[in-house]
Structure 1
Amino acid sequence: MGLESKPFDMDPAFIQAPEHRPSAISHQFAEGVTIIDLSPLLSPDSKKSNLLSPESIDPATLSSLVDKIKHGCKDWGFFEVINHGVPMELRRAVEEVSIKFFGFPLPEKRKVWRDEENAMGYYDEENTKNVRDWKEVFDFSVRSPIVIPELEGESIKRVTTIANQWPENPPEMRHGILEFCSDFIIWPNLTGIFSKFWLEVLYSFGKL
């Protein structure tokens, strides 16, 4: 006796309208994706991803990096960063703990549900063109809590506090992610190093 095929039921919220569906023959392989090499900015004597002082970095090197970032943002919308100084074992730890978390049943993940009051936590109802995305997210901030005042004239109307929500399972998730972020803390400092070159980027996008 053969197996009978049954119709596959899918929530209509996940179905794209025909005009928004990708063409099966329109795929192209991406070539020439922008790669940003941060090794010229890192101290060779440091065990962590510490930046050199701005005065010790060749201005031509900074200008070249900004040009590449500009190219990646303008032509691709993203870029790949290499030689950033973050140990591979920390990256693997974050990947492993993320796989564990997203592999849990939905009720377990929704214990740290992101809502209108707190933008940190688990969420699986993001939309694109009014259609549910086929993805799940877990939002967190390196700095927590974040206090956001809402002004009305010169007075504070209300204060919103956004704080990380860490799941009970897997228990190592909080430590693994925060350890990764602590080693990746060079990124806020890059703003200061690149600051005098950002005007060039803004001009290229027609923002100034």
Structure 2
Amino acid sequence: MASAPVIDVGPLLLDADADAAAVESAVAQVGAACREWGFFQAVGHGVPDALLARFNAQARAFFSAPASVKRAVFRSADNPRGYFDDELTKRRRDWKEGFDYGGPEGNPVDGENRWPDPDALPRFRETLTQYFDAMVGLASALTAAVARSLGLDPGALAGALGRRHASLLRLNHYPECPNPEGNLGVSPHKDVGMLTLLLQDDVGGLQVEHGGEWVDIPPIEGAYVVNVGDMMQVFSNDAICSPVHRVVPPREGSRYSAPFFYNPAHDTVCEPIASVADPKATVLYRPFTWAEFIGKRLAGNLEDLGEEVQIAHYRVQSAPGTQASELRSQQVC
């Protein structure tokens, strides 16, 4: 069975003197993958091997640390950054533990960074900060490519992100699961931001729903799995759709992964870009701020507080397909 495309994104990272044909080819491949799959694997991304090695080592060191070290930075309803082992996805507990880190500037919506005891993990904070910065650069280049694939200026989506973007880096550890058929590492869901860049190990378990079937996203050493999020769907007026995906936990051993969620700034007004759609097309979403959306979403992740907010809740009443069934957790694009 076919899987999501593998794309050399190297031409997208070069300066203005880069081979124009190579750049246009990469843009076209990214656009096609986003429209057809919502997923692709990026190689040639330029993140240094040495940084990847340090980052992977620190992630494993954190999850191997004593429980007291991890639970000292346990997240809470008023500060959802830090360690957790009780995440809910679609109101079902995930088979995983994790650690969330955002940009250095804290905020009332998604909290302040919590750092484990430096005596226990002396290089953890420095390494994650360096890695976060590398992810911002790569995600920015890929977002510009998506914009170009939509016929927009490369910077057309940058205004929703900018220096104040509310991006999040997550470390995931999926422990051995004796009954993976009865549990999921992460239940079927859609990511909420603009793009997600995932570094996964060689264990596998990530699957995307495509053509009515679950399709594996096989590990490729050194590659990033890139997928579209809900806000990209909103800004593109459904020209690009956020895909449903899930994680099957390992029957033996452990799985490690690290998604970087490239998110808008909290005061960004999320709504379709008029120039994406045909002038006669219906604008499918009413405006809302990222702070409003993510605040409601975080409440659902931390506690079972009822129906989880979805972008379908923001579809305009005159848009087709706004029946109650579409307000379920897995709306169809």
For residues 125-167 of structure 1, the C-alpha deviation after alignment (integer angstroms, 9 at most, x for no partner) is 11234332111111112x22233xxxxxxxxxxx557221111
1:79 aligns with 2:31: no
Partners in 2 of 1:173 and 1:36 — Cα distance?
31
2:124 maps to a residue whose letter is: M
Partners in 1 of 2:136 and 2:92 — Cα distance?
35
1:176 aligns with 2:136: no
Partners in 2 of 1:69 and 1:41 — Cα distance?
10
TM-score, structure 1 length as denominator?
A: 0.61
Return closer, same or farther for 1:64/1:178 CA change in 2, 3 Å cut-off.
Answer: same
Task: Confirm or deny: 8 A CA contact 1:97 1:172 kept in the other structure.
Answer: yes
How far the C-alpha of 1:170 sits from its partner, in A, is 1.4
1:151-190 alignment runs, 5 A limit: 160=109, 162-168=111-117, 169-187=120-138, 189-190=140-141
Partners in 1 of 2:57 and 2:136 — Cα distance?
21
Query: Tell me, which stretches of 5 or more residues in structure 1 are unaligned?
Result: 1-29, 44-51, 148-158
Q: 1:144: which partner in 2?
A: 104
Task: Confirm or deny: 8 A CA contact 1:62 1:194 kept in the other structure.
Answer: no
Task: Confirm or deny: 8 A CA contact 1:63 1:197 kept in the other structure.
Answer: no
Partners in 1 of 2:19 and 2:78 — Cα distance?
43
Task: Confirm or deny: 8 A CA contact 1:118 1:162 kept in the other structure.
Answer: yes
Q: 2:9: which partner in 1?
A: 38
1:90 counterpart (51, 58, 76): 51
Q: Secondary structure at the match of 1:137?
A: strand
1:110 counterpart (34, 51, 71): 71
Return closer, same or farther for 1:126/1:67 CA change in 2, 3 Å cut-off.
Answer: farther
Partners in 1 of 2:56 and 2:73 — Cα distance?
19
Partners in 2 of 1:107 and 1:75 — Cα distance?
45
Task: Confirm or deny: 8 A CA contact 2:47 2:134 kept in the other structure.
Answer: yes
Q: 1:124: which partner in 2?
A: 85
* Residue-pair matches, total: 157
2:240 maps to a residue whose letter is: F
Return closer, same or farther for 1:86/1:194 CA change in 2, 3 Å cut-off.
Answer: same
Partners in 2 of 1:189 and 1:112 — Cα distance?
30
Higher strand share: 2
Higher helix share: 1
Return closer, same or farther for 1:192/1:130 CA change in 2, 3 Å cut-off.
Answer: closer
C-alpha RMSD of the superposition: 3.0
Partners in 1 of 2:3 and 2:101 — Cα distance?
32
1:197 aligns with 2:158: no
Query: Tell me, which stretches of 5 or more residues in structure 2 are unaligned?
Result: 153-232, 242-271, 278-333
How far the C-alpha of 1:57 sits from its partner, in A, is 6.1
1:205 maps to a residue whose letter is: I
Partners in 1 of 2:144 and 2:32 — Cα distance?
20
Q: Secondary structure at the match of 1:165?
A: coil
Give me the identity figure in percent.
Answer: 29
Q: Secondary structure at the match of 1:36?
A: strand
Partners in 2 of 1:98 and 1:41 — Cα distance?
28
Task: Confirm or deny: 8 A CA contact 2:73 2:83 kept in the other structure.
Answer: yes
Task: Confirm or deny: 8 A CA contact 1:110 1:122 kept in the other structure.
Answer: yes
1:21-36 alignment runs, 5 A limit: 31-36=2-7
